[in-house]
Homo-oligomer: A and B are copies of this chain.
Amino acid sequence: MPGLGDISIHAVTGLPEIGIGFNLGAAIADAAEISTGDVLAISQKVVSKAEDRVIRLSDVVPGAAAEEIAMELNRDSRVIELIMAESVAIVRKDGPRGILITETHHGFVCANAGIDASNLVESESVVLLPLDSDRSARRIRGEIEAETGTRPAVIVSDSFGRAWRHGQSEVAIGCAGIAPLDDWRGLPDRSGNTLEATNIAVVDEIAAAADLVRNKTSGTPVVRLRGLERFVVPEDGSGCMAQLRTPEDDLFR
């Protein structure tokens, strides 16, 4: 039976250091050849930097609730203050291990509201998730189109830990020009039986695939994937919010 054609995954190199207000789409278009039909997977961190979502810890004044949780978790109360400000609910809190898993204002369930809180000894600032990561993906797509006339799909991704399994896997937190779910339900399988549950989290699988060419010690924020043309659509679409379970529809919060 035929497969769907080969996919190639390419780390885009030669990007400049990303600062506030930076036109990421134009920088990507400068650094790589881009076609409509490509998918660009971009690390959240550079998107957040371009959107000025970097906070100096010396500017943070923790409230009483943050002080209390920080004490319980043995963590920096300024970081806890930021995590709480980015969240609508605490999902799990583990004092002995210092773990805080929350539901962010976007609806993501992840550790530390997606704030990279490692290296606090050496670092003066932390990076928050984009305010609206689907909007970020749409904006970058628009920037690329303005520069090149092409409309690739854009995914903004971050590495999240998982229930039940050690380690992090890259997932999509924003997308434009691609549907987050590839829904086969109702279609016949090769035996003619109806697929009843097959609904593939395709943007998450693409985010994970892109991560495989990243060198974690040197920074590779942008990855280009080819061979996924069948997923790329002209309209920006629903974005990643469509793949988030509501608390009512979720057995694990």
Which residues of A line the B interface, CB within 8 A? 1-13, 92, 94, 99, 101, 108-109, 118-119, 122-123, 159, 162-171, 180-182, 184, 187-202, 204-206, 208-209, 211-220, 223, 227-228, 242-245, 250-253
Contact = CB atoms under 8 A, between A and B. Distances in A.
A189 B217 contact: yes
A190 to B, nearest CB: 5
A165 B209 contact: no
A162, A171, A184, A191 pick with most chain B CB within 10 angstroms: A162
A4 to B, nearest CB: 5
A201 B214 CA distance: 13
| Count of identical protomers in the assembly | 2
A107 B86 CA distance: 34
A193 B245 CA distance: 35
B167 A213 contact: no
14 contacts: A2-B218, A2-B220, A6-B11, A92-B251, A108-B164, A119-B193, A119-B194, A122-B193, A162-B201, A164-B245, A165-B244, A166-B242, A168-B197, A205-B208
A249 B188 CA distance: 40
A212 B208 CA distance: 11
